[in-house]
């Protein structure tokens, strides 16, 4: 029943009733799906999507929806043509499992996709900092761990869920402090708990695999150099995170890199200053992980995405897609909830440094 209404109607919250009101919608609806990896072994520990389940999802999408490349979706967002509910598929971070498991499925069902790559991972082959934290805490023989997080905290590591909860709390804390402080904290953490090489080695896409996927029709976007919380960046770091990462990928791929994904992508993870910098740096779009569909005329630097979790059964997957297309999205003004105090004032100086 939901599928029958998702193209022509939407639910909107009203102040005078606890239940949303169904109204006829006008204009096209564009959804963007956000995956991380396809696979169950190694990092990231927080994402373990079974390849068979991913194929079932792609088979359903091919049968049910209009699927387009991200670039086409961006063009149609600025146009006036009416189209049925439309989807673009994206993957964040660039895990090697995408080459092994996702690519054959995407080819089988002729589904275009965009992968957002982290510059430092492409340069070094190392897994990103948050995966290193998860891996270190997962394998340490200690049954408890004391860490400086807004004061000294003692974490129980008696079970694997306890370890994952501790690692996630650490990552959330590091998203809340300046990126300079985050880098210092991570360096000290890795001196104390050396990341397990056997779990982290060979987990990220390399240039050979990326170029092979590009020849098979996969597109690529930038995901910064070091995967910081953008809201915690000093504007002096914008050039490296946004411009150099773009140039690095363009040099490696031989094509313009026009699309960007905010790391983490929640309302506390971005800023107006960074958004304005992306525009001047030559990007055509930037995606968040704020849930909802996108409407014609949407701000292309605040595009919503639906995150697909590893426990999303075929029936739940179908329901979540219909729910996304049926729920009227809140307006975007003021979406960014926090930033460094001097970030807005300093951005003008950083913009001048774009080369």
Q: Given this model, what pLDDT does residue 42 score?
A: 74
Domain boundary among 198, 228, 258: 198
- Model confidence at 4, in pLDDT bands (50, 70, 90)? low
Q: Given this model, what pLDDT does residue 183 score?
A: 97
**Same-domain status, 330 and 296:** yes
pLDDT digits (tens, 9 = 90+) for 15-65: 566 666 666 666 899 999 999 999 988 777 777 899 999 999 999 999 999
Integer CA distances (angstroms), 114 to 49, 214, 221, 244, 256, in order: 18, 10, 7, 19, 13
Q: Give the residue, 4 or 333, on which the prediction is more confident.
A: 4
Helix axes 51-64, 314-326, angle to 10 degrees: 40
Across 136-153, b (16+ Cβ under 10 Å) vs e yields bbbebeeeebebebeeee
10: β partners: 23
The counts of H helices and E strands in the chain are: 16, 12
Domain boundary among 141, 164, 198: 198
Q: What number is the average pLDDT over the span 265-292?
A: 96
Spatial distance between the Cα atoms of 184 and 197, rounded to a whole number of angstroms: 21
Domain extent for 176? 129-198
Tell how far CA 92 is from the center of its chain. 5
Three-class secondary structure of residue 49 per DSSP? coil
Tell how far CA 272 is from the center of its chain. 18
**Same-domain status, 282 and 248:** yes
- State both tokens at 17: 């009733």
**Same-domain status, 121 and 71:** yes
**Same-domain status, 239 and 207:** yes
Q: What number is the average pLDDT over the span 212-230?
A: 98
**What is the domain count for the chain?**
2
Cis? peptide before 44, omega within 30° of 0: yes
Q: What number is the average pLDDT over the span 287-310?
A: 94
Q: Given this model, what pLDDT does residue 311 score?
A: 73
**Same-domain status, 95 and 140:** no
**Residue listed under structure tokens 């022509």:** 8
Residue 241 pLDDT greater than 70, yes or no: yes
């Amino acid at each position: 029943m939901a599928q029958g209404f998702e193209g022509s109607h939407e639910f909107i919250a009203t102040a005078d009733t606890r239940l949303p009101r169904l109204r006829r919608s006008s204009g096209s609806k564009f959804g963007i799906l956000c995956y991380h990896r396809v696979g169950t072994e190694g990092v990231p520990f927080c994402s373990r999507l079974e390849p068979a389940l991913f194929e079932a999802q792609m088979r359903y999408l091919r049968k049910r929806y209009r699927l387009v490349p991200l670039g086409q979706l961006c063009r149609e967002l600025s146009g006036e043509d009416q189209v049925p509910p439309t989807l673009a598929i994206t993957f964040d971070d660039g895990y090697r499992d995408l080459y092994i498991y996702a690519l054959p499925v995407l080819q089988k069902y002729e589904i275009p996709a965009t992968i957002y790559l982290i510059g430092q991972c492409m340069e070094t082959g190392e897994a990103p900092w948050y995966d290193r934290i998860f891996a270190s805490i997962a394998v340490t023989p200690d049954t408890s761990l004391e860490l400086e997080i807004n004061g000294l905290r003692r974490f129980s590591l008696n079970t694997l869920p306890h370890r994952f909860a501790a690692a996630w709390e650490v990552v959330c804390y590091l998203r809340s402090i300046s990126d300079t402080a985050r880098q210092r904290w991570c360096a000290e953490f890795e001196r104390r708990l050396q990341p397990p090489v056997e779990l982290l080695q060979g987990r990220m896409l390399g240039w050979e695999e990326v170029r092979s996927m590009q020849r098979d029709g996969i597109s690529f976007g930038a995901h910064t150099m070091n995967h910081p919380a953008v809201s915690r960046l000093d504007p002096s770091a914008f050039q490296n995170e946004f411009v150099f990462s773009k140039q690095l990928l363009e040099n490696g791929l031989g094509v313009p890199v026009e699309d960007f994904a905010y790391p983490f992508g929640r309302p506390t993870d971005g800023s107006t200053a960074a958004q304005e910098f992306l525009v001047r740096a030559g990007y055509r779009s930037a995606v968040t992980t704020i849930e909802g569909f996108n409407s014609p005329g949407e701000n292309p630097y605040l595009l919503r995405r639906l995150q697909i979790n590893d426990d999303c059964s075929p029936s739940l997957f179908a329901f979540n897609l219909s729910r996304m297309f049926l729920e009227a999205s809140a307006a975007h003004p003021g979406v960014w909830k926090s930033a460094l105090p001097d970030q807005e004032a300093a951005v003008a100086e950083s913009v001048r440094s774009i080369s």
